[in-house]
Amino acid sequence: MLSIDLTGKRAFVAGVADDRGYGWAIVRALAQAGASVCIGTWPPTLRIFTKSLERGKLDTSLPDGGEIRFERIYPLDAVFDNDEDVPEDVRSDKRYVDLTGYTIQGVADQLRADFGDNCLDIVVHSLANGPEVKNDLLDTSRPGYLAAVSASAFSLVSMVQRFGPLMRPGGAVISLSYLAAERVIPGYGGGMSSAKAALEGDTRTLAFEAGRRWGIRVNTISAGPLASRAAKAIGTIEKMVDYYRLNAALPEANTAEEVGSAAAFLCSPLGSGITGETLHVDKGYHAMGMQADPLLASE
């Protein structure tokens, strides 16, 4: 029987802050397949996340009756590459002041200290932030635009730069994109569509460069909308989910679990021939050329 087996593999998943988003679904799928999992959590949410985990408020259950157990939980702010990039107002912020090693390089150094060289097989980039996401692109400021690209796209480049040397040949990097990289999605502004387009373009280039340099694969999943806590910053996320449900090729909304399963496949030996790919997991919505709802209503 063909199955996904990640036993003996170690994954690092960046961008997990609760148990409702795609990041958590990917963690669950990787753990179910047998991988050991470390995560990186944004410092402002780290305390809430760890306390919730300790108090059993997060759903750590696995379908086989087991539980998700993290090898390590690291603070990670992926807009900073090195310690010298962190401005003083961030260093002295009460949510950061007691933390160290929360830059991308700092986490890479800590992974090496904890597990040695060649310690990773899977890296997941589940990171996105656009401070002006509710603004039309025409109303987006330069700082807002650059912040969106920095947090949502360049962070992938930086992670591959720094985690690639820690990865074993045959390893896999995966990120999360969205259809706004290819099509106009009203309400998804602030430079986020540009950031997702950059993410997908960089995925192709990184697949070549990291493949030749370290023998690892780089792919991204273009997932349909999910009404997670983070996505609620968009403001219209519920309407977006409903629109997909009515107009996708399969008239239903995709689930977090479906995206998690696709990620586990891409990171497994079953996906060994796939790199540089944008895989749509959106019930076929991306393939539609016109609105289906009026056609269905007229039948």
Which residues are part of the catalytic machinery?
178, 188
B/e letters for 1-34, b = 16+ CB within 10 Å, e = fewer, are eeebebeebbbbbbbbbbbbbbbbbbbbbbbbbe
Q: Which of 228, 18, 226, 275 is nearest to 28 (CA)?
A: 18
What is the Cα–Cα distance from 30 to 38, expressed in whole angstroms? 11
Place of tokens 């589940």: 126
What backbone phi and psi angles, to 5 degrees, belong to 93? -65, 140
* Measured distance CA(32)–CA(4) in Å, rounded: 9
CA-closest candidate to residue 10, choices 35, 39, 27:
35
Tokens of 145: 């635009």
Residue 211's closest CA among 153, 273, 285? 273
Q: Identify the residue whose tokens are 């010298």.
A: 84
Q: At what angle do helices 155-163 and 192-214 cross, to 10 degrees?
A: 20
CB neighbourhood size of 170 (10 A) = 13
DSSP category for residue 193: H
The answer to whether 148 and 194 are in contact (CB under 8 A) is yes
